[in-house]
Amino acid sequence: MGAGNMPNLNGQVALVTGAARGIGRAIALALAEDGADVAVFDILSDPLKEVEGEIKSRGGRAVAGQGDVSREEDVTKFVASVEQTLRPIDILVNNAGIGHSADTWSLPASEWQRTIQVNLTGAFLFSKAVIPGMISRRRGRIINIASTGGKVGWPKAAAYNASKHGLLGLTKSLAMELVEYGITVNAICPSWVMTEMAMQTAREIAASGGMSIEQALENMASTLPQKRIIAPEEVARLAVMLARPDSQAINGAAINIDGGSVPY
């Protein structure tokens, strides 16, 4: 399962939120490939079951749970179920996220609140649910999928940017709180990744700019130094690295995976 003689994740349990598609799906599959048992959580039920089935078809162990990351009842219920069905959670990947494009002054307050709830509160609730067990075992990995939008500002993305800046703040605080227990907390900051969220943005750009979706995607890629949109599997490989035992020295980091678009 693991690559070469690198330590792999055999015997560990990982939980990935927003795992039904895109980055979350790629991370769940990569963690399973590296030997972890994987719990997958998403608000989308049918594609989530497909991810669970794909992991099992490759010989891995998986359990799926449908729910809302911003509802504490859904979170605590699923964490308890995973710990009963598999084992205590060693690796948490807070990936669930949403985003919309709008001028800040025309953004409905309900949309602002929902973005913060999913992108930031969801990560807080899942972290809160798994940390006591990690502390008792004195080990664990929490990996937050943030964004280069957590380091810079983008127009028409105030709610998304604010949520991802907040997620980096949560990452850094937790990293310092948990360091004495052998737990690391890090963030991954991708730029454009070929996901449904990116496709939705491309559709919005195409509609407002009178162009095709293909042209919109090319315009998005042209803003990046490598002139390409990243594949979800590239993010997944970084997540696996951070999840492994030999990544202990990496803590409180916000690692860009953006082809060099953000210089810090």
Based on the fold, state whether residues 38 and 143 are members of the same structural domain. yes
Per-residue confidence (pLDDT) for residue 3, from 0 to 100:
45
At 147-191, the pLDDT tens digits run 999 999 999 899 999 999 999 999 999 999 999 999 999 999 999
Based on the fold, state whether residues 164 and 203 are members of the same structural domain. no
Based on the fold, state whether residues 165 and 240 are members of the same structural domain. yes
Whether the Cβ atoms of residue 133 and residue 83 lie closer than 8 Å to each other: yes
Based on the fold, state whether residues 142 and 40 are members of the same structural domain. yes
Based on the fold, state whether residues 95 and 142 are members of the same structural domain. yes
Domain span at 92: 13-191+231-251
Residue 6 lies in a domain: no
Based on the fold, state whether residues 240 and 126 are members of the same structural domain. yes
What DSSP assignment string belongs to 94-121? E---------GGGS-HHHHHHHHIIIII
Given a cut of 60, is residue 1 above it in pLDDT?
A: no
Domain of 41, CATH number, reads 3.40.50.720
Q: Give the pTM.
A: 0.94
Q: Report which of 4, 8, 82, 90 is spatially closest to residue 41, judged by C-alpha positions.
A: 82
The C-alpha atoms of residue 39 and residue 32 are separated, in whole angstroms, by: 10
Q: Quick one: 80 exposed, middle or buried, by C-beta within 10 A (0-12, 13-18, 19+)?
A: exposed
Q: Is 207 helix (H, G, I), strand (E, B) or coil?
A: helix
Based on the fold, state whether residues 237 and 176 are members of the same structural domain. yes
For residues 69 and 219, the model is more confident at 69
Based on the fold, state whether residues 30 and 122 are members of the same structural domain. yes
What DSSP assignment string belongs to 159-199? HHHHHHHHHHHHHHHHHHHHGGGTEEEEEEEESSBSSHHHH
Based on the fold, state whether residues 224 and 241 are members of the same structural domain. no
In this prediction, residues 8-30 reach a mean pLDDT of 97
Count of the separate structural domains present in the chain:
2
Q: Is 52 helix (H, G, I), strand (E, B) or coil?
A: helix
Which one is catalytic: 41, 78, 126, 160? Answer: 160
Whether the Cβ atoms of residue 168 and residue 146 lie closer than 8 Å to each other: yes
Residue 262 lies in a domain: no
Residue 160 catalytic?
yes
At 88-143, the pLDDT tens digits run 999 999 999 999 888 999 999 999 999 999 999 999 999 999 999 999 999 999 99
Residue 69 lies in a domain: yes
At 208-246, the pLDDT tens digits run 889 999 999 999 899 889 999 999 999 999 999 999 999
Given a cut of 90, is residue 7 above it in pLDDT?
A: no
